[in-house]
Structure 1
Amino acid sequence: MYFFWSLILSLVVINLFLTYFLVKQKREGTTLKHKLDLKSYEVLSFQEKNDLLGKKYQYQQIVVKESKNLALIKSPYYYGHLIKVINDVLNISHSYYFKYNPKDNVFKLKHLTGWSQKKYKNLTVNNNDNELAYLWQSDCNYLFIDNLKKDNKFKLSFPLEQDHLVSGIIFSVAHPDNQERIGILGFYSPRQDTFNEDEIDLIQNLIILLQLNISFLSENKTLYLLEQGINFNSHGIVIMDAQKIDYPIVYVNDYFLELTGYSHNAILGKNYLSFFNQKFQQYGLQNLQNAIALGQKTRIIVEKNRKNDGNYWGEINLHPIYNQGILTNFIIIEKDVTDQYHDQISFNIETGQSNLFEEKLQKINTISYDLNQDLSYNLRECLINACDILGMQIGVVMEVSEYRSFIASQYFSFSDTLFFDQDNSLINILSQEICYAKDTIYNGLSIHFNSLTENNFINNFTVTNYLATPIWINGAIYGTIHLFDTENNIHYLREQKYLLEAIAHNLGKVIIAEEKELEKEHIRIALEESQERLKGVLFSLEDVIWSIHPKTLQLIYINTAATILYECELSLFFQKRCFWLDLVHPEDKERVKDYYSKILNIAILDNDANSHDIEYRIISYNGEEKYVRDRAYLVFDNQNNLIRIDGIITDITKKYLTQKALKKSQQELQLIFELAPIGMMITNKKGIIQKTNNSLCKLLNYSALELIDKDEKILHHPDDVSTNYFFLQNILKNNQKQYTQERRYISKNGTVIHSIVDTTILRNSHGEILQLIQQIVDISEIKNMQEQILHNSMYDDLTGLANRFLLMDRLAQTLKRCHRNPSELCAILLVDIDNFKKVNDTIGHHIGDQLLATIGSKIASSVTEKDTVARISGDEFAILLEDLDSPNQAQKIAENIINICNTNYHLENNYIASSVSIGITLSSIGYKHAEEMIRDADLTMHEAKTMGKNCYQLFKPIMHTELVQKLKLESYLRQALENDELELFYQPIIDLKTDKIAGFEALIRWFNPELGFISPVTFIPIAEENGLIVSLGDWIFCTAARQAKVWQDKYPNLNLSIAINVSSKQLLESDFLAKIDRFLTEIEVNPNRLKLEITESVLMDNFHTAKYILDNIQARNLKISLDDFGTGYSSLSYLHTLPFNTLKIDRAFIEPINGKKPKNAIVEAIVSLAHNLSLDVVAEGIELPIQEEILKEIGCDYGQGYYYSKPMGASLADTFIEKWNQ
């Protein structure tokens, strides 16, 4: 059956399309030169077809052929088949189909010919800047590109395939149902004459044919689903053709075949009436025949034939189908009701209740209801009568609504106790069942109440019969009525159904009557409430509401608002006929009288003019003058006779005074506009100047006449005209009321004036622009100051070079370019002036500034204009070199700068020799941040300083690694004191004359849990740099002093001392002496047991300070030792002037003493010198017996070194003391 309908619809669609196509071709003047059948036509070659029939006819035949082919193709291959046909016919090499994805606004490739399938598989093209987007965003159906190489309106989605593709055409494809575009077909050719008018028509016709086929399949799918729904229906369905005389059957569903036992072939084409049992039910059959003849619907129950299994009783519903007033078909819905029919017949035969039925029906019709009682009373009376008539014991009426149902009334013949509560699930389910069925329901199954309800009953009640029906009111279910039999008094009769339905029908009438009475009562109450509200509204109104008689002008009504407006009692208005007229201002009284006379005359002549309005003044009862607006309304009866004049009087005193004040304000604003100290201008929405003030004319050097009615653009700076226009359009588009813009004007003499323009947009009530008011403030001076500030923020005042901020900005931009293009190379040269601090300290800062400016100028002259030279700190310059060819180029520039800066500078009669040190970093390392590159350049510059200055160094990544390690070590060192990671070791000092222990030198050791043992040579310089040496030195002093105190108490006779190293920073601290005093007091150690060791470096730059501190140390009975004597400056004047007790000879002088070279003259000289100055001598680094022997020979006092012992912890030192003294 589905195939039959599909075939019919397919042929209709194809015929309609071919008819349209051929008529179209005929209108265009196409004629057929020869008549060939399609089979003969297909044998010919393309050239033969073209010569024989002509190109247009050939294309027609292609469309005809494809109309058949497309019907046989599955939907996923539609576009592929269509593209193949067009490619073959038009000899096209390249084509595609893109489907549009509206969610992502992209085109997804679905079919491709000519280009590489592998390369462009799953290609997605954006809806922007290509031929697809160009067509999609236009209103055209296709886009023809006659020259792909020259047309540059957009980029092509695919390459031209080695430039041999010349022309192309793309078509938009629309959905056949809603005509929304869904994709694009494209065809490209190496020839320029491929796509002419005929070829374009061919492609368009094939696309239309494809859309029709898709639509046809969509309709077929719907038909298929409908047919499946009909087949699964539990009723037999028959369709007859009403256009034919014998009304043949054209369709039956599967259930009808199952019901009757016939096959499709046995039924289709037959008359429906031929399947009836002609022996019985002639009356019902006659009704059906009459309904068919009259084209009407009907419902009957008749006996019908089954093919192999006797007869059955069927309930038949006949429905005629009309199409535009013409009867086209009959639809029959048939239901098997054999069981129900037999039950009723047998019941009627057994009981013989027909007479009783008539009696009961009569009794129902005589039931009376008391409309004076409420609805619940009548509902209960209904249930009592229903149970009595039908022999039931329990009755319930349910009222239902859209959301729930509830018990309206219930009756129990054995008791007055309520049988069901509102939440009873059983009665609610039964009520829902009736509403769903919309018919009377009989349930003969036993229902045991105790298992289905929540109520507890005195006795067990078993329901033997149950009957229920809906209560219909105005075509809708109002509620349900339920009756229960607990005594098994009756069996179900069809008459009982009719009786209950009759009761429900009568009950519906009662409910309607009750609702009408209730509605009347509601209307009465609502009317009273409305009148009360009206009184309340009239009482609360501030306006005076009045009514007067049209002939006598006597006041009929006036509300209490009059007492406030007129400041008098309400009764006065009724005591005198025209009292209200007496309160009108004397100067307005005649005008008001004339006004009301005209109203009455107009009322006589023209009933349409029934509304009038006047404003005048009144004098209140207390003498106050007020302004009022009086509106009068003429009221006519049905015969157009004037019966009343109603009116409203509004106090407009405030409004009048406001308008008066507004007028005054407008005058003041006009004066302010003219005298404003800033420029002001009013234009219309097109920018035409309507008004200017004196300040603006003075600012721009124009007169007002020169500007009025001119376009304000003549005043704008030429470079800003388009910007200002688009800015204003954007403001207007967003419906802004006010905006501020910085703008440049050109005065009449050509001066550029910078200004801030504050514009207010005035609109009318419809949102239309009336005027633009502009307030113009001259900010030229501020602008110049800003430019100067901006310049100062980016350039150095002293040298005129870029500052650090500008350099970092340019460096950041350059690094971004290098990151995008790794082949680009840039460099930073960080230049520092050698010994610049000495120049400032010795000659003065003004000379230092001159030196900075001179060297800055020399550096700037050494690079190109595209490079950036900046002064980034006191005596540091940075050079950004861009677009370098190689690292060598940066090194050559550095060498040149060093050479030209290494000279004598003559500044104010001062000759200064100066040089520079340079650190170089290259972008090739991969810097992402400018700060990192400057950091490494600074690190490299300091490396150049350590290499002797006046040179350059190229950054190596290892430098940064070492710096990071150094910083990490510094961080650990800061924690070392807190974490108790530090320890003092002690190396013994031996008296070379007595071979006894004279004391120890305290040496610090550090063991980090993560890094292990760290040499003092590594961390002491770091402590010196970051200032930790002071805290470290304090800890060493206290720890050593406590150990000296321990040995002082433990070995009082040995007189052991401890030598403590003190750094120059620690010694020169302002509170150094105070801390020494505090430590000595707290620890209570004998100062003679402590010896402070200092190096010569502390004496070189701070001699006088050092001498003062050393004298005070000596005064506190602490001993002082000059450490590493002979390795530094070693001025003999120090020894003579400063209070030293001991000289320590550096190990560098002791090490050469060995068997081959037994003596050292320098050591002998130092010992001799020290003894002459009354100083004792300690020799460090003794490791060999020969060294000890020689030192004893030359008279050295003390020895220290690995020959005696390595440095050791305090406990081992104790052991060493005890063993040595044994």
Structure 2
Amino acid sequence: MIILMVGLLTCLGVKLFAEYLANLLLPKVRNNSNSEPKKIFCKPQLTDDEIQTVMSKIQNCASQLEHVFFERTSELHKEIAERKRIQTELEKSLSLQYATLESTADGILVVDSQGKIAGFNQKFLQMWCIPESVISSGNHTKALRLAIKQLEAPRQYIATIRELNLNPDIQIYDAIAFKDGRVFERYSQPQCINGEIVGRVWSFRDVTAHKLAEAKIRHQALHDILTNLPNRVLFNERLSQALAQAQKSGNKLAVCFLDLDRFKTINDTLSHGIGDRLLQIVAQRLMECIGETDTLARWGGDEFTLILPNIKDTKEVAAIQDRILAAFKPVFDIENYQLHISPSIGIAVYPMHGNDAETLIKNADAALYIVKSQGRNNYQFYNSEINADSSKLLILENSLHYALERQEFEIYYQPQVNITTGKITKIEALLRWRHRELGLISPDEFIPIAEETGLILSIGEWVLKTACAQTKFWQENLDLPSLSVAVNLSARQFQQRNLVNIVSQTLKETKLKHQCLELEITESVAMQNVEFTRKILSELYNLGVSISIDDFGTGYCSLSYLKNFPIHCLKIDKSFVRDLSHDNHDAAITTAIVRLAHGLKLAVVAEGVETEAQRNLLQLLDCQLMQGYLFSRPLPAEDVTKLLRKSKSRRISTSFLVA
């Protein structure tokens, strides 16, 4: 356009210039109006000044034309350059937008105001598994059907689209779930041009991995890593929900607090790895005992909690506890270790034992404490008297920490008698605690507490040294060189890694001969870890001390292991002796134990002999070593000294009873 204008101006300038020259050089003939024009041809005559003037005007006109030409040309070049720049920038912008659209991790979809697809990126097609040919063909309905079929809640998706059609100016941000487990975050906003909505832009982001990570973090926050059971936080949440439901429906529920008996011994001796594996197996067995609506949680350490919702009565709860106790009877076989462990369970029932979670948990824990103090391996429902008992147990536990340094412990001794010779062959050391305020405390009350707190180690070492020193005193002062002493080892003591060194050092300090010390362990302790038991017993046997299995017949001892244990004596539990005279089963068991001991060339001792009838039956069964009230109660050292002096002068009669 500019070139055309410059051309026209140039042509017009030349024309004007020619006319100017003609007017200037050709003279005009003035004729009268009545006369006809005459044709005259003459040679123009110009002066130098006129010629100079003409030339100057011509130059000025030419200069003006040249200036206009170059000015118009320059503007043309600028406009062309600007158009090229704008085109280049536009191409760059479009390229950047395309690259950005295709490089984003989000799937992008653009639809116009009619709902037709106006644009998309390849990520959108990949995420939604829609062939590009379907969209390119313009079959938008088919594309929508392909997308909706993949969703977990297609109706909700369609409802959202309808809502946007009714309210095109709103934005949405939510998540949609797919049938295959994927989760997309969805964002949509209207597309506007000059304030008018012309379509809508959709953005989809795959957050499946993020959601899975969030779910994993939440799961870990609410579950025990070792057993994968709910932890204390989730247990409390579910208990609150169960209580709310029970209050609404009027149903009962039970909260159970379960603790593994003497689990710490396994951890301390076999490593935490074995203990962890045991906890995992325990969790599996417990899960097999409960229903789908019940909640089993790991409270911490070796403690588990259980919610039993919608129960009818306490009988139903008791039946579940019986199943749990039965599930612990089979041996736990872990890395060639055969372990025996039992649970103690406390139970509180809503609404009888509490109306809120805190009270129910506290009362179930209090009931558990009673079970542990009464021998363990059982369950107990909470009752109003338990709080008083729990208070007493708390006092005992606090006092137990200072009992040793306050010299409140005493050792009583009970003799073992050979009924054939009437001689006292051995003295069993039995621990007693004389509390400053509560008086004499039964071992059944404080020994479990000492086990749990670990105080049994220091207490047990004191008992061992005191009993050995006392026996050495009797040997030297009463001329009883063959008198021996039996000392009980608790589960926690037996599992000490330095037990053999402690025994050896004690015998060295007290100067008691090794063969004059007998160490007693219960059958259940021996079977907790067979390999460890065999190792320790072998070391003690090589040291020269005697080993006896106490409470034989009440545990889980396998005869195949018994024959491999380096032991010297079996002690028949008093529960078999008590009903020996009128219970054929007890008589049969006792007979089998005596014959087993003789067959293995082991000594056998009957405990709890209280009547002559029991004594006579045991003698008929060829059991010569006996211990019980028939011969003597456990006595302080001073009284035992008197008893030993008497036993030297005459044989102990079966009717000789010591008060």
TM-score by length of 1: 0.29
SS in structure 2 of the partner of residue 1101 of structure 1: coil
SS in structure 1 of the partner of residue 566 of structure 2: coil
- For residue 859 of structure 1, the aligned residue among 263, 272, 292 is 292
- For residue 1063 of structure 1, the aligned residue among 490, 497, 503 is 490
Q: 1:192 is matched with which residue?
A: none
Q: 1:1119 is matched with which residue?
A: 546
Alpha-carbon displacement from aligned partner over 1:188-207 (angstroms, at most 9, x marks no partner): xxxxxxxxxxxxxxxxxxxx
Tell me which amino acid in the other structure corresponds to 1:982: F
Matched, 1:1047 2:474: yes
Between the aligned partners of 2:251 and 2:438, the Cα distance in structure 1 is 39
5+ residue gaps, structure 1, are 1-697, 703-713, 720-743, 755-779, 863-868, 904-915
Contact persistence 1:794–1:804 (CA under 8 A): no
Matched, 1:888 2:296: no
Q: 2:26 is matched with which residue?
A: none
Between the aligned partners of 1:824 and 1:971, the Cα distance in structure 2 is 41
Tell me which amino acid in the other structure corresponds to 1:1141: H
Alpha-carbon displacement from aligned partner over 1:61-88 (angstroms, at most 9, x marks no partner): xxxxxxxxxxxxxxxxxxxxxxxxxxxx
- For residue 1214 of structure 1, the aligned residue among 641, 645, 653 is 641
SS in structure 2 of the partner of residue 1115 of structure 1: helix
Q: 2:152 is matched with which residue?
A: none
Contact persistence 2:517–2:545 (CA under 8 A): yes
Contact persistence 1:811–1:880 (CA under 8 A): no
Contact persistence 2:239–2:307 (CA under 8 A): no
Find the structure with the greater CA-based Rg: 1
Q: 1:922 is matched with which residue?
A: 350
Aligned ranges 1:39-58 → 2 under 5 Å: none
Alpha-carbon shift at residue 1000 of structure 1 (Å): 1.0
Whose helix fraction is larger, Structure 1's or Structure 2's? 2
Q: 1:201 is matched with which residue?
A: none
Alpha-carbon displacement from aligned partner over 1:558-603 (angstroms, at most 9, x marks no partner): xxxxxxxxxxxxxxxxxxxxxxxxxxxxxxxxxxxxxxxxxxxxxx
Between the aligned partners of 1:790 and 1:975, the Cα distance in structure 2 is 45
Matched, 1:983 2:413: no
Contact persistence 1:1183–1:1203 (CA under 8 A): yes
- For residue 397 of structure 2, the aligned residue among 967, 970, 976 is 970
Contact persistence 2:415–2:427 (CA under 8 A): yes
Contact persistence 2:353–2:363 (CA under 8 A): no
Alpha-carbon shift at residue 797 of structure 1 (Å): 9.3
CA spacing shift, 1:805–1:1077, aligned 2, 3 Å: same
Q: How many residues align?
A: 430
Aligned ranges 1:565-576 → 2 under 5 Å: none
Alpha-carbon shift at residue 1197 of structure 1 (Å): 3.6
Alpha-carbon shift at residue 1147 of structure 1 (Å): 3.2
Contact persistence 2:608–2:629 (CA under 8 A): yes
Q: 1:1174 is matched with which residue?
A: 601
Contact persistence 1:920–1:952 (CA under 8 A): no
TM-score by length of 2: 0.51
Alpha-carbon displacement from aligned partner over 1:168-214 (angstroms, at most 9, x marks no partner): xxxxxxxxxxxxxxxxxxxxxxxxxxxxxxxxxxxxxxxxxxxxxxx
5+ residue gaps, structure 2, are 1-105, 111-167, 174-185, 191-199, 264-272, 328-342, 650-659
Tell me which amino acid in the other structure corresponds to 2:292: I
Q: 1:1201 is matched with which residue?
A: 628
Q: Which moved more, 1:1100-1109 or 1:979-988?
A: 1100-1109
Aligned ranges 1:287-686 → 2 under 5 Å: none
Contact persistence 1:988–1:1200 (CA under 8 A): yes
Tell me which amino acid in the other structure corresponds to 1:1183: E
CA spacing shift, 1:1063–1:896, aligned 2, 3 Å: closer
Q: Root-mean-square deviation (CA), in Å?
A: 5.8
Between the aligned partners of 2:553 and 2:391, the Cα distance in structure 1 is 35
Between the aligned partners of 1:788 and 1:1213, the Cα distance in structure 2 is 69
CA spacing shift, 1:1188–1:922, aligned 2, 3 Å: closer
Contact persistence 2:552–2:570 (CA under 8 A): yes
Tell me which amino acid in the other structure corresponds to 1:1044: T
Q: 2:446 is matched with which residue?
A: 1019
Between the aligned partners of 1:1173 and 1:1076, the Cα distance in structure 2 is 26
Alpha-carbon displacement from aligned partner over 1:938-959 (angstroms, at most 9, x marks no partner): 6779999999x9x998654445
Alpha-carbon displacement from aligned partner over 1:1116-1143 (angstroms, at most 9, x marks no partner): 1212223233444454445543322233
Alpha-carbon shift at residue 752 of structure 1 (Å): 9.1
Contact persistence 2:224–2:298 (CA under 8 A): no
Contact persistence 1:1179–1:1199 (CA under 8 A): yes
SS in structure 1 of the partner of residue 467 of structure 2: helix
SS in structure 2 of the partner of residue 1060 of structure 1: strand
SS in structure 1 of the partner of residue 312 of structure 2: helix
Q: 1:1102 is matched with which residue?
A: 529
Alpha-carbon shift at residue 1067 of structure 1 (Å): 1.7
Alpha-carbon shift at residue 986 of structure 1 (Å): 0.8
Identity score, percent: 32
SS in structure 1 of the partner of residue 292 of structure 2: helix
- For residue 805 of structure 1, the aligned residue among 223, 228, 233 is 233
Alpha-carbon displacement from aligned partner over 1:372-430 (angstroms, at most 9, x marks no partner): xxxxxxxxxxxxxxxxxxxxxxxxxxxxxxxxxxxxxxxxxxxxxxxxxxxxxxxxxxx
Between the aligned partners of 2:589 and 2:480, the Cα distance in structure 1 is 35
Contact persistence 2:478–2:645 (CA under 8 A): no
Q: 1:1076 is matched with which residue?
A: 503
Alpha-carbon shift at residue 1062 of structure 1 (Å): 1.6
CA spacing shift, 1:824–1:985, aligned 2, 3 Å: same
Q: 1:189 is matched with which residue?
A: none
Alpha-carbon shift at residue 859 of structure 1 (Å): 1.6
Alpha-carbon shift at residue 1002 of structure 1 (Å): 0.7
CA spacing shift, 1:1067–1:890, aligned 2, 3 Å: closer
Matched, 1:1183 2:607: no
Between the aligned partners of 1:1125 and 1:880, the Cα distance in structure 2 is 37
Alpha-carbon shift at residue 856 of structure 1 (Å): 12
Contact persistence 1:1182–1:1202 (CA under 8 A): yes
Alpha-carbon shift at residue 783 of structure 1 (Å): 10
Contact persistence 1:991–1:1198 (CA under 8 A): yes
Alpha-carbon displacement from aligned partner over 1:999-1022 (angstroms, at most 9, x marks no partner): 311111122223222222333334
SS in structure 1 of the partner of residue 472 of structure 2: helix
CA spacing shift, 1:977–1:898, aligned 2, 3 Å: closer
Contact persistence 1:828–1:934 (CA under 8 A): no
Between the aligned partners of 2:241 and 2:319, the Cα distance in structure 1 is 27
SS in structure 2 of the partner of residue 1085 of structure 1: coil
CA spacing shift, 1:1209–1:893, aligned 2, 3 Å: closer
Between the aligned partners of 1:1147 and 1:1002, the Cα distance in structure 2 is 17
CA spacing shift, 1:1011–1:1106, aligned 2, 3 Å: same
Between the aligned partners of 1:815 and 1:1199, the Cα distance in structure 2 is 56
Q: Which structure is higher in RCO with an 8 Å CA cutoff and minimum separation 6?
A: 2
